[in-house]
Amino acid sequence: MIALNLLSKQDKQLVKQNIYLRLTQRYVFTAVFAVAIIAGALFANKYIAQKNIDELQGKIQAATQATILDQGGSLQDNIKKINTQLKAISAVQANFVPWGPTLVDFFHYFPAGISLSSFSADSETKVVNIQGTAKTRADLIAFRDSLSTIPYFTATQSPVSDLTQRTNIQFEVSGTLKSNFWKLIPRSQ
């Protein structure tokens, strides 16, 4: 193969520089074009996002006003409604009786031979009714004695007829809780 060199060294150098210049121009033009496209896309996204934010703020403001005005009512009417609800809640809380700790402590006084079939307590009258079965007469007597030692439970009543049987004795006991019985319950349990 024969290689002919028709250009001088300076001309070759000039052609090489010209090629590099054209490649650099092409890369710069491509980069500027890509940046312009990306900038346009970002501007469009910003415009769309701002439009969505404005719509959402309008919806939030409309919902807030609808909540505050409550279908044409005034803010003061809503405050009155809320105050009425708070008074009702306060009344419910004032009448709250903490039965949980009371019952846990109360059932600690029941001997092993006692099975309950019914237990009722009225928070207004403080009356407690207990029905169940005692395995033996001794269990029933121990149960009645145990009830008499409860500091917040008074007036234990049980029919004498409950003591006529020796085993599997159906019994009914009623009594009254003291007015502040939940304050008399030991908190160590």
Residue 165: which residues within 8 A CB-CB, separation 6 or more? 137
pLDDT reported for residue 187? 53
* 115 vs 168: CA distance, rounded Å: 10
At 66 the pLDDT is 66
**Integer CA distances (angstroms), 149 to 44, 158, 162, 187, in order:** 83, 15, 20, 17
Find how far residue 155's CA is from the centre of its chain.
Answer: 43
| Mean pLDDT per 10-residue section of the chain, whose length is 189 residues | 77 91 94 91 87 85 67 70 84 72 78 86 82 88 84 72 80 81 55
Tens of pLDDT, residue by residue over 13-50, are 999 999 999 999 999 999 999 999 988 888 888 888 88
pLDDT recorded at residue 189: 45
How far the first Cα of the chain sits from its last, in Å, is 108
